[in-house]
Amino acid sequence: MLDTRISRRAALMGAGALAAWLTSPARAVLAAAGQLTIPNFVDDLIRRMTLEEKAGQLSLMASAWGGGAALALNPPQGNSDFPRQVEEARQGQLTGVFNGNGATMARILQSAAVKESRLKIPLIFAADIIHGHRTIFPVPLAEVASFEPDLARRTAEAASFEAAGAGIDWTFSPMVDVARDQRWGRGVEGGGEDVLLGRLFAAARVQGFQGSDLKSPEHMLACIKHFAAYGGAESGLDYNVVDISEARLREVYLQPYKAGLDAGALSFMASFNEINGVPATGNHWLQTELLRGEWGFQGFVVSDYTGDEEMIAAGYAKDGRDATKLAFLAGVDMSMQSGLYRKHLPDLVRSGQVPEALLNQSVRRVLAMKAMLGLFDNPFRRIDVKRESARSMLPKTRALAREAGRKAIVMLKNDGELLPLPRSGKAIALIGPFASGQHDLVGPWVVYGDDAKSVDLATGIRSAFKGKLIVAPGSGVEEPLAGGIEQAVAAARQADVVVLAIGEGANMSGEAQSRTEIVVPEPQQRLAEAVAAVGKPVVVLLKHGRALALEGAVANAHAILATWFLGTETGNAIADVLFGAYSPSGRLPASFPRASGQEPYYYARKSTGRPNPQGPLEPYKAHFRGMPNSALYPFGHGLTYGRIEYSGLKLSSPTLPMNGTIEVSAIVTNRGSRAADEVVQLYTHDKVASLTRPVRELKAFRKIAFAPGQSEVVRFTLRSSDLSFVGRDNRWVTEPGTFDVWIAPSAEAEGVHGTFELIA
């Protein structure tokens, strides 16, 4: 038996280890990056600026080039007249543009700003680089399924390399909103339901985008969004209100933003939602007292797209002028897309309603940031048409997309070890709207990626599989296909095994795509029922931007792989897993409920006073009618091609002293005949506390490679501080008492269990 101690690399991947990483040398570099350095010339420049020029430095607009990629992604707003935008750059009315069209456009605008404007202040170019630029990686939620934060650091770095090569200085990413209601469409952009994973992935992504030198033409500024608690939207309805206790806000929702800040992020985006009646964009407590006062943030805050103006419809601001004043005084330095700041800030200063010193402070932050990005030294440092194409979709970047793709796949079920499929000798019927064709591959929130440059499923399967492949779409995504079911049934009859590629289209998650029922769309469900009735073994390949509620023939398939939106290398990544070139290693970052009506369902829930005991449902206990209060596939779940067993939980002591540590270990064995990567997870539960605690909380995990027959003692070290929580006075407390501890393969699996006492 091998002893496994936490290595430095594992510390990055594992957790409890977050603390170790935060004190590591890498962190010291990032901490330096988190300081805003203000060169002397900035204040000289500010002294020479008119109020209009100052307000211009705080006004960011969607690119208007050729209608603008941005305008296709967001509701049409503002001007779409590029010559007018160039004129605004000349007049010092613009700090920069976002979601523009590459180096050619950037060169025109930048030239107007630095050659023809009065003060020659460079523009900043921003974009939503959410999961890749030209090479598209798995959607962020899928990437979290790897339980490998360092993978996210690497893909963010690769995205940065391509995007910075195309003139982009600043990405509106990472999105780190904790999402516990799968109806919400934007969970796809983030880190899932768990706080620890959310923190680790937020930090890793910031590190990947920013690198250690913001002047590098291979890196760009990260933006932590959406601040704050955008994912807490009531009923999962996008843009909806958030009504939340301060304790939960601090303990759950705020954690990933803070981790991103600690990793050195120097910009934040205010969220659309209100929190307890006050819109985040107009919330002084949030954007100033907490973010700057308590957390020491030094960068700048940008509103979300017309977020300042939206305070009028929300019933918080009287008109545009009032909205400007409220947002600016709350601490939002820069306005995105409404144009309100440049329209109203000069006069608000003249009339004494906004102190000029505050205006200067915001301008100072923005100019200092431009200097840190190297834009004053060379405004064209990231704008280079040749480099733009030379860096696009390089083989090494595509190889990383394939690696990330296969690591994101989660095997939910594999009855009778149907998977992996043999590479030849059999006939496969590949059925479903996602079976072939270059559509719905890159997924939601892609500005520059292209389905047409991606590998579809049929192509990926053909390059791995030498037997007979019959392809039939069977159905549209949300509409039936005439004769589709008949064709699909005929294909299934001719095959030994059916591979059913079904699920959500790319436009069914992302912004404004909340769903009331998180199920496979009805025409595809009908297709699945008809195909299952043929009686051949069925492998379901789910396409999805959220956890789904699986039903009928889909839930009852012999094997199910969660394959999300994997991006450019979709077909190859899936084929790697399907035919066993790669043993699935992903774990769910969000629980799959038994039914849509359970949402919001998340593993770190509270017990209630009437939990149903293990076993059959009992009356007057906390569960929905006829349904256990548990997930169909919980957070952390994922099978491998090995057969992993847990045994022998050991604690180094029955007690953990305050400010001390305790070692918890278990024996993990691969009894199968194939190698497998197992994600070993450590959960705790505080049995009695001054505020009730979740039934389980993930405190640490490690991803470990197991050869067939290999057995290891997997050890974790817990500190008393890992057990603290936000108490009644909204401060972190650590309370003595009894704790359950599990080392387990998922949040709802028993694994191995023990208890210890935290003593004062």
Catalytically active residues are 304
Which is closer to ligand BGC, CB of 73 or CB of 481?
73
DSSP 101-115: -HHHHHHHHHHIIII
- Is residue 193 close enough to count as binding ligand BGC by CB under 6 A? no
Which is closer to ligand BGC, CB of 511 or CB of 677?
511
Least Cβ distance, residue 74 to ligand BGC (angstroms): 5
Angle at 367 between CA 320 and CA 307, to 5 degrees: 25
Which is closer to ligand BGC, CB of 172 or CB of 434?
172
Name residues whose C-beta falls within 8 Å of residue 77's C-beta, 6 or more positions apart in sequence: 62, 71, 305, 306, 337, 338
Least Cβ distance, residue 62 to ligand BGC (angstroms): 7
Determine how β-strand 725-726 pairs with β-strand 267-270: unpaired
The answer to whether 654 and 662 are in contact (CB under 8 A) is no
Task: Provide the token pair at 621.
Answer: 């206990």
Determine how β-strand 661-670 pairs with β-strand 711-719: antiparallel
Among 21, 172, 297, 742, binds ligand BGC (CB under 6 A): 172
Which is closer to ligand BGC, CB of 173 or CB of 681?
173
Contacting ligand BGC within 452-511 (CB under 6 A): 511
Contacting ligand BGC within 427-446 (CB under 6 A): none
Contacting ligand BGC within 208-227 (CB under 6 A): 225
Least Cβ distance, residue 564 to ligand BGC (angstroms): 19
Least Cβ distance, residue 511 to ligand BGC (angstroms): 5
Element (H, E) at 412: strand 410-414
Which is closer to ligand BGC, CB of 302 or CB of 491?
302
Determine how β-strand 468-472 pairs with β-strand 538-543: unpaired
Among 137, 184, 253, 305, binds ligand BGC (CB under 6 A): 305
Which is closer to ligand BGC, CB of 181 or CB of 304?
304
> Which amino acid is it at 50?
T
Contacting ligand BGC within 67-86 (CB under 6 A): 73-74
Site map for ligand BGC, 504-543, x if CB under 6 A?
-------x--------------------------------
Question: Which residue's CB comes closest to ligand BGC?
Answer: 172
Least Cβ distance, residue 308 to ligand BGC (angstroms): 13
Judged by DSSP in three states, 650 sits in strand
Angle at 735 between CA 733 and CA 738, to 5 degrees: 145
Element (H, E) at 5: none
Element (H, E) at 242: none
The answer to whether 402 and 527 are in contact (CB under 8 A) is no
The answer to whether 149 and 204 are in contact (CB under 8 A) is yes
Q: Is the dihedral angle over the CA atoms 368, 373, 374, 379 positive or is it negative?
A: negative
Contacting ligand BGC within 341-400 (CB under 6 A): none
Size of residue set near ligand BGC by CB under 6 A: 9
What's the DSSP call for residue 659?
T
The answer to whether 211 and 218 are in contact (CB under 8 A) is yes
Contacting ligand BGC within 600-619 (CB under 6 A): none
Bond into 600 cis (ω within 30): yes
> Which amino acid is it at 550?
L
Which is closer to ligand BGC, CB of 446 or CB of 664?
446
Which is closer to ligand BGC, CB of 42 or CB of 136?
136
Bridge partners of 411? 561, 639
Distance CA 94, CA 304 (A): 16
Judged by DSSP in three states, 267 sits in strand
Which is closer to ligand BGC, CB of 98 or CB of 706?
98
The answer to whether 518 and 537 are in contact (CB under 8 A) is no
Which is closer to ligand BGC, CB of 304 or CB of 309?
304
Closest to 299 in 3D by CA, of 31, 36, 28, 58: 36
Least Cβ distance, residue 678 to ligand BGC (angstroms): 35
Site map for ligand BGC, 401-430, x if CB under 6 A?
------------------------------
Least Cβ distance, residue 425 to ligand BGC (angstroms): 48
Alpha helices (H) along 455-569: 457-464, 484-494, 522-532, 552-555
Contacting ligand BGC within 127-156 (CB under 6 A): 128
Least Cβ distance, residue 272 to ligand BGC (angstroms): 6
Least Cβ distance, residue 185 to ligand BGC (angstroms): 11
Q: What are φ and ψ of residue 334, in 5° steps?
A: -130, 140
Least Cβ distance, residue 92 to ligand BGC (angstroms): 23
Among 53, 88, 304, 322, binds ligand BGC (CB under 6 A): 304
Bond into 228 cis (ω within 30): yes
Alpha helices (H) along 184-298: 195-210, 246-248, 254-262, 284
Q: Give the interface with ligand BGC as residue ranges (CB under 6 A).
A: 73-74, 99, 128, 172, 225, 304-305, 511
